[in-house]
C-alpha cells in the first residue's frame, strides 16, 4: 500500500508505505522529502516499535510505544485527621494483559499537600488507591488523577 499526501503551495508532501521488512515485522514507513522520516514496526505479539530517522535515513532513535494505557480521576471526600480511605478503580475490560504500573496524583488546595497516596492490589482489571491524611485537622475534598501504563506486552 502506498499513499502520497497531496502537495499544496508551500507545504511538504509525505509518503506512507506499508511494508514487510525482510527478517522483521510488518512496518509502516513514513517518507518526507524523499527520505525515510520514521518507521513503525508492528509485531504479532502486539508490540509496537517506533524508529525515527536522521540524516541519510539512518536510525536516530528506537523506542517501544506503551502497549496499553488508561487514565482517569475520581473525587475523594474530605479526610478526617490522621486517617486513611481507599478507592477502587476499575480498568476498561481487556485493556491490560497483566498488572500495569499505576501512578496517582492529587489535585486540590494546600490542605491536600500532606496527604499520602499509595497504590495497592494492582491487577489487570483494577487497583486500589489509598489516601492518608497526616494533618492534625480534617482535610478538604479533592480530585485524584491516575494513569495506568503497561509498557510491554
List pLDDT tens digits, range 72-91.
999 998 888 888 999 999 99
Beta strands in 22-113 (DSSP E): 26-32, 35-42, 48-53, 59-64, 68-76, 83-90, 101-107
Range picked from 18-32, 70-84, 87-101, 109-123 for highest mean pLDDT: 87-101
d(Cα 66, Cα 150) in Å, to the nearest integer? 6
Cell triple for 36: 525515510
Q: In this model, does residue 93 exceed pLDDT 90?
A: yes
Q: In this model, does residue 38 exceed pLDDT 50?
A: yes
Confidence of residue 111 (pLDDT cuts 50, 70, 90): low
Is pTM beyond 0.75? Reply is no
Q: Which residues contact 130 (CB under 8 A, 6 or more apart)?
A: 84, 85, 86, 87, 117, 118, 119, 120
Q: In this model, does residue 134 exceed pLDDT 50?
A: yes
d(Cα 84, Cα 18) in Å, to the nearest integer? 53
- Bridge partner residues of 86 (DSSP): 130
Confidence of residue 23 (pLDDT cuts 50, 70, 90): low
Amino acid at each position: 500500500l502506498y499513499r502520497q499526501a497531496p502537495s499544496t503551495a508551500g507545504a511538504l508532501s509525505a509518503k506512507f508505505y506499508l511494508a514487510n521488512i525482510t527478517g522483521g515485522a510488518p512496518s509502516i514507513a513514513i517518507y518526507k522529502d524523499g527520505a525515510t522520516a520514521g518507521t513503525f514496526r508492528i509485531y504479532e505479539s502486539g508490540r509496537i516499535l517506533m524508529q525515527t530517522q536522521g540524516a541519510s535515513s539512518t536510525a536516530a532513535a528506537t523506542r517501544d510505544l506503551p502497549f496499553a494505557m488508561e487514565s482517569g480521576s475520581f473525587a475523594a471526600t474530605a479526610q478526617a485527621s490522621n486517617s486513611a480511605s481507599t478507592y477502587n478503580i476499575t480498568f476498561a475490560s481487556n485493556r491490560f494483559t497483566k498488572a500495569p504500573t499505576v501512578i496517582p496524583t492529587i489535585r486540590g488546595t494546600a490542605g491536600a499537600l500532606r496527604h499520602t497516596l499509595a497504590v495497592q492490589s494492582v491487577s489487570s482489571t483494577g487497583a486500589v488507591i489509598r489516601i492518608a491524611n497526616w494533618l492534625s485537622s480534617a482535610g478538604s475534598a479533592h480530585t485524584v488523577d491516575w494513569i495506568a501504563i503497561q509498557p510491554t506486552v
